[in-house]
Structure 1
Amino acid sequence: MTVELHRAPVVLPVGAPPIADGAVAVRAGRILAVAGHDELARAFADETSLTRHEWRGALLPGLVNAHTHLQYTDMAAVGQAAHSGFETWMQAFMELYEGEHDWLDSAAAGALLSLRGGVSAVAEIVTDPDAGSAVHRAGLHGVVYWEVLGWTDAAWAAGDGRARVVEQLRALPSPPETGLSPHAIYSLDTGVLRELADLAAELGVRQHIHAAESAWEDAYVRTGTGDLADRWRRNGRGDFALLQHGGSGRSVISYLDDLGALSPATHLAHGIYVDAEDRRILRDRGVAVALCPRSNAVIGLDPPPVAAYLREGNPIAVGTDSLSSSPSLSLWEDVAELHRLARAQGYGEPDLHARLLTAATVGGARALGLDDAGVLAPGTRADLAVFQTASTDPAAALAELVETGPTVAAATIVAGRIRWQDADA
C-alpha cells in the first residue's frame, strides 16, 4: 500500500520533542514513523509506491474539539451577540431554537468549519438523530452524544424513560461512537441523573455533562434558590428534588459525585464554579474538563480557573461550544484565550504553550476515550493538521500557534485522508 510522507519545517508530535524539518510517514490511515525528514526519506527510499507532501508551517496532531453542538451552527446570530448572563442568553437561544431548522444541514456546515479549522475529532452533542450523521459524513472522528434533558423522576418512572433513552441512543447513526449526555444537574431530576450514569456504564458508552458553568446553577444545587430555581418553579418544574428539598448543600461537582456520575468514562464541559476540593474530586475520579472560555464570555459568565487546573494537574481539554454561544468554531482562538487567562491568573511557568497544545490535542482525545489519537506516534491514527507559521523555529512556532489562534488550517488530514486543504497552502 502507498506510503504517504508528510514533510514540514516544524513537526510538533505532542508527548515527544519537537522536530525541525520533520516528517510523518503514513500508511493505511495509521502513522508508521515520525522523525527528521532526511531520516525518513532514507528509510522509505525503496518504497515502490511513495507519495510526498511538502507543507509550509507546523505539522501537528489534528485538534480535538471536546465540547460542541455543531447542530446549532445555523444559530450563529445568538453567539455573535453579547449577553449579560445565562438568563438573557437562554431567552435569545430559545427564541431562535423554536423556529424552523434543518439540523442535518446545520451540523454539516459546522463539521466543514471544524475541518477548516484543523479539527479532526469532536465531542458532538445532538438532540436530533439526523444531525448525528454529519460527523461521520464529514470524515471526522469523535463521539456523538445524545443529549437527555427535562425528565423528572416521576415522569421517568411513569414513561419508561430508560427504555426511551436506549431507543433514542440506538437511533443515532453509527459510526462514529455514540454516548450519553445528561444535559446538566438542573435540567434532570436527581434519580434520573443516577439512572443515566448507571445506563452509560451498562451500555459501555461515554458520558458528557455540562457542569459548574454558572453561579445560577451553583445556587440552584446548593440551596434551591436563585434565578434558575425561580424560573423552573414558574414553568411548572418545581417537583425536581433539589427544588423540593431546598438544594443539596453541596457543590455541583460534589453532588454529581454522590450520584455516581463521575468516572473516567465521563468528561465535563465548562467547570468554572469549582474550588480546590471540587478539582481534587475530578482528579481522583479521572474526569477531564473541556474548557470553553469564549463561550463563557459571550454568555456573560466568569472565566474558567485554568491556572488552578494546570497547577494542580487536572486533565483538561478545549471546546468551542456551539455558534449559538461562541463567535467561531476555531479551537485555536479558545486556546489563545486560555493562554491569556492563565497568565492573568498568575500562571508563570514556561511550559504553558506545551500544556495548552496538549489540552487541544491528546487532552481532548483522552476525554473522548480515543486512546490512539491526539499524538503523532507510530501506530496511532493518522489525524494531522498543518498550520502556516511565520517562524520555522519549533519553540517560536508553538508560541505563535498558541498565542495568536490561527483560524484556518493549511490542511486537515483524518485517518490519512486529506479532508481539508487551503487553496493557498
Structure 2
Amino acid sequence: MATTWITDATCLTHEDGGWISARRSIEIASGRIVALHHYTPYIAPEDEVIVGTGLLAIPGLVNAHTHSPDNLLRGSAPQLPLELWSLHSAAGREGRTPRQCYISAALGGIEMLRTGTTALLDHVRISPELDGACLDAIAQAYLDLGLRAVVAPIVADRPVASTLPLDSDDLRDLDLSAYGMRALLPASEQIAIAEAFVERWHGCEQRIMAGIGPSAPQRCSDDLLIGAAALAARHSLILHLHALETRAQQIMGHRLYGKGTVAHLDDLGLLGPKTNLAHAIWIEGDDLDRIARTDTAIIHNPVSNARLGSGFCPLADYLERGIRVGLGTDSACCNDSNNLFETTKWAGLLHNPVRPHARWLGAAAALRLATQGSADAIGLGSSVGNLAPGQSADITMLRLDTPAFTPLNDVVRQLVLSENGSSVVHVVVAGETVLRGGVCTRLNESAIWEEAQEYAARQHLANCQIQANARKLAAPIEAMFARIGRDRSTSQ
C-alpha cells in the first residue's frame, strides 16, 4: 500500500500537557500516522506527497454536537429564546425525503471540512417521525464526503406542549392536536428503528459510528430513556442527549420528577462514561458530584447558548472537577454556522467576564477541548485528536501566509483567536485527502448547493400550515416566560 507524506510542515502536537509546534514531515500509511520525521526521508515514486512548506498541520477539529437536518434552515429562525425559536425550526424541518436529508447533511459536512473539522456527532432529528431511510441517507452523505461521523438518531415520545412548564390556563381554548399535542411513535417502535440503523451502519468503513440520542429527558418517557440506555449498552454506543439547556427545562424536571433532572438521570442509570449531556447550563445541588462520579461528558455549545439566550454553562466548574468536556457548534439554525473555529474562540473567551482571570480557559485549553476533548467525549477515544505515531491520520492544514498568521508570534493563540477557517487548504481523514486546495475531493460542492437552495424554497412553501399550527404555542410560551420571570424576581 502506498504511503502518503506531508513534507516540511509546521506541525502542532499535544505533548506533556501542552501544545508544541515544530517543522516535521508526516508519514502516513493504512490511515494512520507512522512517524513525524525531523527530516524528509526517501519518498517512493508511487507515494502521494502533500507539500507542507508554508503550511500549519494540526489535528482535525471534532464537532461534538450538531444537527444536520437544520442545515437547510440556516437563517430562517429569528433571534428568540429556545422554546420560541424551536417553533420555527421544528416546523421547518418536517416532512423531509431521504434525498433532502442527504443534501442537508452534505451541506453541513462540506462546511465542516472547509473549516477544518474532520469528525462530528450528528444528533439527528427526523420529523414528524423517526425514519430509517432518512437516517441511512445522512450516514451515506458523511461516508461520501469522507468524514468521520457518529450518527445519533433523536428519539422522543412526549408531545411538545407536555414538555414545557405550561399551566392549564395557558392552553385554554387552543386546539393543539395538529402540532403541540400530536401523538408520536411509541417508544418501542422508535428503539427498533434506531437499532436497525445501528446494525446497518455502526463501524461502516471505520468512519461511520452509530449512537442513540434521546432528545432531552423532559421530551422522553422513562420507558424511552431506559430503552435508549439499554440499546446503547447492547452495542457499546454513545448516549447523547440535551440536558438543562434553559431555566424552563430546569423547572420542568422538578414538575416531572420531583427532583432535579440530573438526579433523575442518575436514578435511572443513564449517567456514565458513554453519556453526553449537551449544554448542561442549569445544573443544581449535587449535579457536579453526580456528573464527576459517573464520568459523564459535557458538550459545551457557547455560540448557540448565547444566540438563544439560554445562559452560561459553568465550564470552569466542570473542568476544575476533572469532568470531560467537548465542544459543539449546535445547529446551523441556532448558531448560523458549523464552523468549529468560531465555537473554539467563543469557548476561550465567553466566560471571561464572569470569572476571575485565574480561571479563564485560554486558547491552548480551548483548542484541546475542540480536538482531544471532543474526540474522547463522542467515543472516538485517544486515537483521534492529536498528531502522533499510531494516531488516525485526521489532519487539517492551513496556509500560514494569511492575515491570521502574519506575523506569526504564537501559533496556538493565533489559531484560536485569529483564525476563522479561511486559511484551511487541505484536510486528510483516515489518511485520505478529502479536501484539496479548499475544495472537497469526493462530492461536487456546487451541485449540492444548487440542490439545497431548491429544496429550501420548496420546503418553506410546503410547511406553511405546520408553521401556523406551531405558532399556536407562541402565546402560551410567552405567558410561561413571564411567569418564570416573576417567580425568579420573587425568590431573589
Q: Which category of TM-score, normalised to the shorter sequence, fits these structures? A: 0.7 to 0.9
CA RMSD of aligned residues (A): 2.8
Aligned-partner SS, 1:289: strand
Letter in 1 for 2:229: A
Aligned counterparts, 1:157-236, within 5 A = 162-170=191-199, 175=204, 176-222=208-254, 224=255
Given residue 247 of structure 2, which amino acid in structure 1 is its aligned partner?
A: A
> 1:178 and 1:211 mapped to 2: Cα distance?
20
Q: How does 1:294-309 map to 2 (within 5 A)?
A: 294-309=303-318
Distance in 1 (alpha carbons) for counterparts of 2:190 and 2:376: 30
Does 2:362 match 1:352? Answer: yes
Task: Please give the per-residue CA displacement for 1:271-314, whole angstroms capped at 9, x wherever unaligned.
Answer: 11124732232222122111111111222211322222233322
Secondary structure of the residue that 2:248 maps to in structure 1? helix
Q: Is the 8 A contact 1:271 1:304 kept in 2?
A: yes
Amino acid paired to 1:307: A
TM-score normalised to structure 2 length: 0.73
Corresponding position of 1:399: 413
Alignment of 1:41-120 (within 5 A): 41=40, 44-45=41-42, 49-50=46-47, 51-78=49-76, 81-83=78-80, 85-98=81-94, 102-120=100-118
The amino acid of 1:119's aligned partner reads: T
The separation in 2 between residues aligned to 1:93 and 1:155, in whole angstroms, is: 18
What are structure 1's unaligned runs of at least 5 residues? Answer: 225-241
TM-aligned CA deviation for residue 161 of structure 1: 5.5
The percent of aligned pairs where both chains have the same amino acid is 27
- The whole-number CA distance in structure 1 between the counterparts of 2:58 and 2:407 is 14
The reply to whether residue 279 of structure 1 matches residue 285 of structure 2 is no
Q: How many residues are paired up?
A: 393
Alignment partners' CA distance in 2, 1:375 and 1:392:
24
Alignment-derived partner of residue 12 in structure 2: 12
Say which SS state the counterpart of residue 219 (structure 2) adopts. Answer: coil
How many angstroms apart in 2 are the aligned matches of 1:191 and 1:57?
Answer: 52
* Equivalent-residue separation in structure 2 for 1:15 and 1:268 (angstroms): 28
Deviations 1:159-206 (A, max 9, x none): 665445433544658621111111110110123212221221023222
Residues 367-378 of structure 1: matches in 2 within 5 Å?
Answer: 367-371=377-381, 372-378=383-389
Task: Indicate how the Cα distance of structure 1 residues 105 and 350 shifts in structure 2: closer, same or farther if over 3 A, else same.
Answer: closer
Alignment of 1:380-399 (within 5 A): 380-389=391-400, 390-391=404-405, 396-399=410-413
Contact 1:133–1:172, Cα closer than 8 Å, also in 2: no
Deviations 1:317-344 (A, max 9, x none): 1101111211211101011111112322
2:335 is matched with which residue? 326
Aligned-partner Cα distance in 1 for 2:202–2:249? 32
Aligned with 1:263 (options 248, 261, 272) = 272
Alignment partner of 2:26 out of 7, 24, 27? 24
Tell me which amino acid in the other structure corresponds to 1:221. Answer: G
Q: Does 1:254 align with 2:263?
A: yes
| Rounded Cα–Cα distance in structure 1 between residues aligned with 2:277 and 2:26 | 33
In structure 2, the residue matched to 1:420 is: 435
Task: Give, as a single letter, the amino acid of the residue that structure 1 aligns with 2:242.
Answer: H
Q: Does 1:40 align with 2:39?
A: yes
CA contact (8 A) 1:63 1:120 kept: yes
Secondary structure of 1:302's aligned partner: coil
Structure 1 pair 421/160, CA: closer, same or farther in 2 (3 Å)?
closer
The aligned residue for residue 364 of structure 1 is: 374
